Amino acid sequence: MLNGESSTDAKPLTKSSHEAGVSSDARTGAAKRSSGSAEGRPRKTRLGEIVLIAIVIIYAASLILGPLLAIIWGALAEGFKVAINELSSPEAVSSLKLTLIMAASATIINTVFGVCIAWVLVRDNFWGRRILNGLVDMPFAVSPVIAGFMLILLFGRTGWLTSITDALGLKIVFALPGILLATIFISLPFVIREVAPVLAQVSVDQEDAALTIGANRLQTFWHVTLPAIRWGLLYGVSLTFARAVGEIGAVLVVSGGVSQLTETSTLFIFRSLDDRNYVGANAMAVVLAGISFVILLAIESIKKRTEHTRHF
C-alpha cells in the first residue's frame, strides 16, 4: 500500500532513477521525526510527501545550487591568490566600475521616468493609455540582442538618426551612450510594473487632502504619495539594477567591446571565455552572482515588509 501510494504520487515525474535511493533515506528520517505532522492527513501519505519534497529539492539543486558551487570551485581552481589577481587586473576593475556606473545611471533614469509613467497609467485617463501600456511591456518581449540591434539601426553607419548625432558630434553606438541606452531599454518596465499596482491602491483622498490644505503638487507627491509607494518603488529599483548589471546581449551588440573603455563585466566574462581564461571568467561570474545575491536578499526583505506578492 505504501509503495503503491508513493508511485502514484510520482507518476507525472521523470527523475525515477533518484527516487528509490532518496525515499529509503528519507523514510528513516521521517521515522525519527515521528508523526510530528499537525496537518491531520492520513499517515500513509508521509512517504509520498517525502519523495515529492526530495524530487523538488534535487531538481533545484542540480539546476541552480550545483552550477553555483561549480563556478566558485572553478574560480578557486588555481588558488585564492590567482582569482584575486584576475579580479584586480586593470581590465577587470575598469569593467566592474563601468558596469556599476551604467547600471546606476540606467536605474536612476528609469526610476524618474518610471514613476512618472506609472502615475500617468494609473491616475490619468485618456485615449492613448492602452498604447502606452502596451509599449511598456515591449522591452520584455524583445530579445536583448534585438534591443541592441535596434540601436545600431538608429545610430549606426546608415542609421535613421546618425546625421543628427554626427552633426552634434555625438558618438552613440560602439561608445558609452550606446551601452547606457541599451541598458535603459532592457530594464525599462520594472519600476513601472512594480509601482503602478501599489499606486493604484493608494487612495486619492490623502493627496486631495494635502492639496486642500495648501500643499503644491510636488510637496504632495513628496510627502504623501512617495511614502505610500516607497516599498513598491524600492522593489522595482532593485529589480532594475539587478537586470542592468547582468545585461549581455544588448550590450554585446552595441559596445564594440574595447577593453578598459567600453567593456562591462559581462563582456569581460565573455572575452575571458573566448581567451580560455576560465579562472578570470569564473571569478568575475562569482562577483556578479554575489551582487545579484545581495540584491535578492534586499528584495526578500522588502517583500516581507510589504507582503506584496508578485504576479508576473
Segment 279 to 298, residues that bind another protein, using CB under 8 A = 281-282, 285, 288-289, 292-293, 295-297
295: left (phi over 0), alpha (psi -120 to 50) or beta: alpha
Return the number of the residue (63 or 108) whose C-beta is nearest another protein.
63
- Based on the shown chain and the rule CB under 8 A, indicate whether residue 252 belongs to the binding site for another protein: yes
Cβ 251 to another protein, closest distance in Å? 10
Which CB, 60 or 84, lies closer to another protein?
Answer: 60
Least separation in angstroms between residue 68's CB and another protein is 6
Which residue in 67, 223, 226, 305 binds another protein (CB under 8 A)? Answer: 67
Give the separation between CA 162 and CA 4, rounded to whole angstroms: 70
Size of the site for another protein (CB under 8 A): 104
Please select the residue that binds another protein; options are 53, 104, 200, 226, rule is CB under 8 A. Answer: 53
Give the residue, chosen from 28, 214, 276, 312, that forms a contact with another protein under the rule CB under 8 A: 312
Q: Which of residues 228-247 bind another protein (CB under 8 A)?
A: 239, 242, 245-247
Tell me which residues in 116-155 interact with another protein (CB under 8 A).
116-117, 119-121, 124-128, 132, 134-154
Least separation in angstroms between CB 216 and another protein = 8
> Which distant-in-sequence residues (6+ apart) come within 8 Å of 43 by Cβ?
35
Nearest residue (CB) to another protein, 81 versus 157 = 157
CB nearer another protein, residue 9 or residue 194:
9
Contact stretch for another protein (CB under 8 A) within 64-72, 78-86, 170-178, 255-263: 64-72
